[in-house]
Amino acid sequence: MPGLILAAPASGSGKTTVTLGLLRALSRAGASVRGAKSGPDYIDPAYHAAATGKPCLNLDAWAMSTANIAARAATDDLLIIEGAMGLFDGAPHDGAGSSADLARILNLPVILIVDAARMAQSIAPLVAGFARHDTAVRVAGIILNKVGSDRHAAMLRRAIAPLGLPVLGALPRRDDLTRPSRHLGLEQAIEDPALPAFMDRAADWVTAGCDLAALTALAQPLPAPRANRLPPPAQRIAVAQDLAFSFFYQHQLQDWQAAGAQVTPFSPLADDAVPDADLIILPGGYPELYAPQIAAAKTFMQSLKKTSETTDIYGECGGYMVLGDSLTTADGVPHAMTGLLRLNTSFAARKLHLGYRRLHAVHGPFAGAWRGHEFHYATTTSATGDHLFAAQDATGDALPPMGLRLGRVSGSFAHIIDRA
């Protein structure tokens, strides 16, 4: 099936809202469509899935090989890929992993979403620059966003006309199409009971303002997939999944299940006992928002401690913090965690840690070389024990070792994406 990429000159141009509106509109009209997200992101894919009813995968041009991307992009549906940041923005110093890289790898056209709120004729050199910057990245059409009036739209269209690029839509400003956010981005899709109504408003907005037939007609065939899957780290894998533990890349779960692994979800917030498994995973999420409930989940706590005597346990980011001795929330109150690692973390003094990571572990269920990323505001107030990962940043410069391991328990703030 074909695909296309929705990108923009910069963050804040409205990519996510336009993408969700388009996905919902096409799905509502009976089209076979699904979303994908460029780069590392847990929150937007859940919104894509809510818009279409189909899982959304991440396609990461920095962390995944060309073969991996082609394999994961393969679908029987029309694939709408939402870009990240600006079209050519990626990792330092050369922009590797950008949406433009993904367009080159998949040979897909780019639809440029432009925030036109504060411009008129100046839109022409902006669009021309993006369209001509790289001949391997084909800008196939424009969607004008945050347009003030019909007169404003007409001025923008006249300015763009000499460039020979079709204007596929002109979308008016809509104050009712903003989403609540918190420190790691938008609130999670599963937290909002009003989300279906929002999706329908966005779909109505896109349907009224865009030529959907002309837009989807620009989609191009995806490259033929090559089998390339992550082997499961164990045969029976239990994964924590609830509001506190929701950041996990779907391509990993799908690969493991396709290889025959049994994946069992459980909820620490519901105080579930840890299922019988060969590997227990606590993903990232928002444990800082639910620290009192986690601390009070005695059945979960006791069963995890007992399980750690005989079974590998692995935590990523939020899950890593829960494996520690304590987690201090933003109000300065410490909460006892599982105590399986000598680790204390705090949100009382927040600091952003952000970037791609090259990782290598000698021990644990994820031994070997990986590519991943780090994105959190927690600070480590104390950490004692053997480190889990040797780490480098996206440019290959050495970073301090990441994570801890103690017995069969290990974890770090890094989110692994794919094997290096």
In CATH, what number is assigned to the domain containing residue 303?
A: 3.40.50.880
Beta carbons of 86 and 115 less than 8 angstroms apart: no
d(CA 167, CA 128): 13
Residues labelled as active-site residues: 317
Q: Are residues 168 and 262 in the same domain?
A: no
Cis peptide before 183 (omega within 30 of 0): no
The least confident of 224-228, 240-244, 301-305, 366-370 is: 224-228
Give mean pLDDT, residues 243-249: 94
d(CA 169, CA 147): 10
Output the pLDDT for position 47: 92
> Which residues are bridge partners to 236 per DSSP?
262
Whether 116 is in a domain gets the answer yes
Q: Which domain-ending residue is among 221, 244, 279?
A: 221
In CATH, what number is assigned to the domain containing residue 120?
A: 3.40.50.300
Output the pLDDT for position 99: 98
Whether 229 is in a domain gets the answer no
Confidence of residue 229 (pLDDT cuts 50, 70, 90): confident
* Residue 52 pLDDT greater than 50, yes or no: yes
Output the pLDDT for position 182: 45
Whether 150 is in a domain gets the answer yes
Output the pLDDT for position 180: 59
Instruction: List, for residues 352-395, the tens digit of each pLDDT value.
Output: 999 999 999 999 999 999 999 999 999 999 999 999 999 999 99
Q: Are residues 41 and 73 in the same domain?
A: yes
User: What percentage of residues in the chain have a pLDDT greater than 70?
Assistant: 96
Q: Are residues 166 and 275 in the same domain?
A: no
Output the pLDDT for position 259: 93
Q: What's the mean pLDDT when you consider all of the chain?
A: 95
Give mean pLDDT, residues 233-262: 95
Output the pLDDT for position 225: 76
Instruction: List, for residues 33-42, the tens digit of each pLDDT value.
Output: 999 999 999 8
* Residue 221 pLDDT greater than 70, yes or no: yes
* Residue 418 pLDDT greater than 60, yes or no: yes
Give mean pLDDT, residues 304-320: 98
Instruction: List, for residues 173-216, the tens digit of each pLDDT value.
Output: 998 887 655 445 556 666 677 889 999 999 999 999 999 999 99
Whether 230 is in a domain gets the answer no
Q: Are residues 196 and 258 in the same domain?
A: no
Output the pLDDT for position 190: 66
Q: Are residues 200 and 313 in the same domain?
A: no
Q: Are residues 36 and 71 in the same domain?
A: yes
| Domain count across the chain | 2
The candidate with the shortest Cα–Cα distance to 140, out of 169, 109, 162, 163, is: 109
d(CA 303, CA 305): 5
pTM given for the model = 0.94
The C-alpha angle 271, 416, 1, rounded to 5 degrees, equals 100
Residue 296 CA, distance from chain mean position: 30
Output the pLDDT for position 227: 67
d(CA 52, CA 31): 10
Whether 226 is in a domain gets the answer no
Unique residue bearing structure tokens 């031994």: 367
Output the pLDDT for position 166: 98
Q: Are residues 30 and 174 in the same domain?
A: yes
Which range of residues forms the domain containing residue 154? Answer: 2-221
